[in-house]
Amino acid sequence: MKISSTFDAGSIEVVALDSFDDIRLRLRPDNASDFAQWFYFRLQGAAYQPCTMRILNAADAAYPEGWVDYQPCASYDRVNWFRVPARYEDGVLIIEHTPLASSIYYAYFEPYSYEQHLRLIGEAQSSGLVQLSDLGSTLDGRDLSLLTIGHEVSSDLKVWIIARQHPGETMTEWFIEGLLGRLLDTHDSLARALMDKATFYIVPNMNPDGSVRGNLRTNAAGANLNREWLTPSAERSPEVLWVREKMQETGVDLFLDIHGDESLPYVFVAGTEGTPNYRAPIAALEDKFKQHFLLASPDFQDEHGYAKDAPGEANLSMATAWVGNAFECLAFTLEMPFKDNANLPDDDMGWNGQRSLRLGEAILQPIYAVLNDIQLLRASQDDPSSAV
Binding region for Zn ion (CB under 5 A):
166, 169, 259
Q: Which is nearer to Zn ion, 38 or 39 (CB)?
A: 38
Q: Shortest approach of Zn ion to residue 145 CB, angstroms?
A: 20
Q: Are strands 157-163 and 254-261 parallel, antiparallel or unpaired?
A: parallel
Q: Which is nearer to Zn ion, 166 or 246 (CB)?
A: 166
From 13, 173, 177, 335, active-site residue: 335
Question: What string of DSSP letters covers 251-312?
Answer: --SEEEEEEEESS--SBEEE--TTSTT--HHHHHHHHHHHHHHHHH-TTB-SSSSPPPPPTT
Q: Which is nearer to Zn ion, 79 or 307 (CB)?
A: 307
Rounded CA-CA distance 227/183 in Å is 30
Q: Which is nearer to Zn ion, 169 or 228 (CB)?
A: 169
How far, in whole angstroms, is CA 293 from its chain's centroid?
18
Report the sign of the C-alpha dihedral through residues 209, 213, 215, 220, in that order.
Answer: negative
Q: Shortest approach of Zn ion to residue 343 CB, angstroms?
A: 21
Q: Are 36 and 8 in contact (CB under 8 A)?
A: no
Question: What string of DSSP letters covers 188-199?
Answer: -HHHHHHHHHEE
Does an H or E element contain 9, and which?
none
Q: Are 227 and 317 in contact (CB under 8 A)?
A: yes
Q: Shortest approach of Zn ion to residue 269 CB, angstroms?
A: 13
CB atoms closer than 10 angstroms to residue 78: 14
Does an H or E element contain 154, and which?
none
Bridge partners (DSSP) listed for residue 104? 43
Q: Which is nearer to Zn ion, 169 or 173 (CB)?
A: 169
Q: Which is nearer to Zn ion, 209 or 328 (CB)?
A: 209
Q: Shortest approach of Zn ion to residue 259 CB, angstroms?
A: 3
Q: Shortest approach of Zn ion to residue 363 CB, angstroms?
A: 17
Instruction: Quote the DSSP letter at residue 24.
Output: E
Instruction: Quote the DSSP letter at residue 23.
Output: E
Q: Shortest approach of Zn ion to residue 37 CB, angstroms?
A: 11
User: Is 335 designated active site?
Assistant: yes
List active site positions.
335
